[in-house]
Amino acid sequence: MLIKYHFLFGLIVSLLLYPVYGINILIIFFTNLLLDVDHYILYIFKFKSFSIIKAHDYFFNEEKPFLLFFHTVEFLLALLFFSFYFRLAFFALVGLVIHLLLDIYEEMREKHIGRFPSIIWWYLRKR
Ligand SMILES: [Zn+2]
């Protein structure tokens, strides 16, 4: 999903959650907004290039599914685990869930899943 939609929806949800979580909504907002940084990290490792424009074009045109670490069930479960011990992890988890729900909505709308939802799934498919 485009970052402008993550920004807009994240802003609305964060503002709605302000009465409950106060200033911690900033963690929710920025986690939701910045989660796609894993696209850029993957691009840098794969192509040894720091071009954001080329990375953007690559992910919009790539047909084969790819592994995005922050978009996996394993990352979600790790954040869930840490959220029992750290408040910061809890708010990051809320931002992550908002982000993933938007991505899933977009994937269902386009009837195309461009990423592996699980590191284990990705690993087993590679073998
Ligand atoms: Zn995403």
Ligand 1 centre and the CA of 63: distance in Å? 16
Ligand 1 centre and the CA of 2: distance in Å? 8
Query: What confidence score (pLDDT) does residue 112 get?
Result: 80
Name the CA radius of gyration of the chain, rounded: 15
Ligand 1 centre and the CA of 3: distance in Å? 8
Of residues 23 and 60, more confidence is placed in: 23
Ligand 1 centre and the CA of 126: distance in Å? 22
Is the pLDDT confidence value at 67 over 80?
A: yes
Ligand 1 centre and the CA of 71: distance in Å? 7
Long-range contacts of 90-94 (CB under 8 A, 24+ apart): 91/21, 91/24, 91/25, 91/27, 91/28, 91/31, 92/27, 92/28, 92/31, 94/17, 94/28, 94/31
Query: What confidence score (pLDDT) does residue 3 get?
Result: 86
Ligand 1 centre and the CA of 124: distance in Å? 22
Query: What confidence score (pLDDT) does residue 71 get?
Result: 96
The residue behind tokens 């988890």 is 93
Is the pLDDT confidence value at 31 over 90?
A: yes
Cβ atoms of 6 and 107 within 8 Å: the answer is no
Q: State the average pLDDT over residues 24-28.
A: 97
Cα–Cα distance measured from residue 71 to residue 18, given in angstroms and rounded to the nearest whole number = 25
Ligand 1 centre and the CA of 22: distance in Å? 25
Ligand 1 centre and the CA of 1: distance in Å? 6
Query: Which tokens hold the place of 91?
Result: 């708010």
User: Tens of pLDDT along 76-117?
Assistant: 999 999 999 999 999 999 999 999 999 999 989 988 888 889
Is the pLDDT confidence value at 28 over 90?
A: yes
User: Tens of pLDDT along 33-64?
Assistant: 999 999 999 999 999 999 999 999 998 888 88
Ligand 1 centre and the CA of 45: distance in Å? 18
Which residues share a beta bridge with 67?
Answer: 116
